[in-house]
Amino acid sequence: MPIGTTHILIAELRSDLLVPSGPVHNGQAPEQAAQNVLLGAPSGIPVHRRVAVDRVQMRRRQVFTYVVAANPLTPADAACLTYRDGRADLMVLPTAQATAALPALARARILAGLKALADQEMAYLEAGIVSRTEPARLLGSSSP
């Protein structure tokens, strides 16, 4: 989640940095699921749009990970938030520092999402590698 234009919100769990995430239940849009990841925003998380989807083959099933961009928050707004997993702490870090510290797959997703957001595109990844991009769609439109 962007904080201003130079920082992002990252979770720290047992000294590991991770992108705040949560499950998307059957029939639920990723934008709706994003509302359950960070708690404490009086009006909910200001979701802007989907920026990337990553498909990874995991043994006998495919796992889809959606990257959803929120409108930038102020540092004060971010300070009110808590992560859905109470064992993790939220941190605001400069974007370059945060992405450098993330695991490779999370880093690839975030970088592809940031680029797609800047280019007004939607990025489609295969195991962290961009396979294609297309023009961004409005919220509520169907896409994989």
Per-residue pLDDT tens, the chain, 144 aa: give them. 666 678 999 999 998 999 999 999 999 999 999 999 999 988 888 898 999 999 999 888 999 999 999 988 888 888 899 999 889 999 999 999 999 999 999 999 999 999 999 999 999 999 999 999 999 875 555 545
Q: Residue 7: which CATH number?
A: 3.90.79
Whether residue 143 is contained in a domain is answered as no
Whether residue 23 is contained in a domain is answered as yes
Give residue 60's domain range: 2-135
Whether residue 39 is contained in a domain is answered as yes
Q: What is the pTM of this model?
A: 0.84
Whether residue 70 is contained in a domain is answered as yes
Cα 81–chain centre separation: 15
Whether residue 144 is contained in a domain is answered as no
Whether residue 81 is contained in a domain is answered as yes
Give how many domains the chain has, as a whole number.
Answer: 1
The predicted structure's pLDDT at residue 139: 53
Whether residue 141 is contained in a domain is answered as no
Q: How far apart are CA 16 and CA 3, in angstroms?
A: 20
Tell me the backbone φ, ψ of residue 27, rounded to 5 degrees: 80, 0
Whether residue 42 is contained in a domain is answered as yes
- Residues 43, 10, 103, 21, Cα dihedral to 10°: -20
Residue 115 backbone zone (phi > 0: left; psi -120 to 50: alpha; other: beta) = alpha
Q: Is the Cα dihedral 23, 28, 34, 35 positive or negative?
A: negative
